[in-house]
Amino acid sequence: MGLDVYFIKRPADTTTADTTRREQDEAVGYYRKFNALLNWIDANAGEVENCTDVPLTRHDLEKLRATLDRLTPENCHDLFPTTEGFFFGSQEYNDDYWSDVENLKQFVQQQLASFDFDAHRLCFHAWW
C-alpha cells in the first residue's frame, strides 16, 4: 500500500468530473509516494481526495512549472513542502525528493509542449 498518483488524459467531450475509468482514459504520468506533489495540487489546483480526479488546466501546469523552476534546498519547505499521511512515504528532502522533482519538471515541460487541452482533459488522480 502507499500513495500512487497519476496524470490521466481523457477526451475533452467527457462532461462529468466523476472518477469512473473509461476505456479511452490514458495514464500519461505516474509517481509513487510523491506527497509533495499531492500537497501542491491540493493547495493550488483543487481538493485532492482518495480516488477522485482533479481537473488540471494549462494554467495549473504553468504555475507548477514556475514553482518547480524556483525550487531550491533553501525554499523547498515553503514552495513545495512534503505532507504527512499514513501511506504517503517520506517527508525528507533527500535525493528521492529531488529526483522526483526533476522527473516532474521534465513531465510538466513535455505536457506543456505537447498536450492538446482543446481535445483532451488532464486530470490528477491519487490513490492511497
The average pLDDT across 59-86 equals 96
Number of structural domains found in the chain: 1
pLDDT at 106: 99
* 97 φψ region: left (φ > 0), alpha (ψ -120 to 50), beta (else): alpha
Name the DSSP class of 120.
E
Q: What average pLDDT does this structure show over 59-83?
A: 98
d(CA 103, CA 108): 9
Question: How far apart (Å, rounded) are the C-alpha atoms in residues 84 and 63?
Answer: 23
pTM equals: 0.90
| Higher per-residue pLDDT: 77 or 90 | 77
Q: Is the model's pLDDT at 114 over the cut of 90?
A: yes
Q: Indicate the pLDDT class of residue 84, thresholds 50, 70 and 90.
A: confident
Confidence (pLDDT) at 34: 96
pLDDT digits (tens, 9 = 90+) for 14-25: 655 555 667 789
Closest CA to 76 of 99, 101, 59: 101
Helices 58-70 and 95-114 sit at what angle, rounded to 10 degrees? 140
- Written as one string, the DSSP assignment of 44-107 is HT----TT-EEEE-HHHHHHHHHHHHH--TTTHHHHS-----TTS-----SHHHHHHHHHHHHH
Residue 121: which domain range? 4-127
The residue ranking higher by pLDDT, 52 or 20, is 52
Q: What integer best gives the mean pLDDT of the chain? A: 93
Amino acid making up residue 113: A
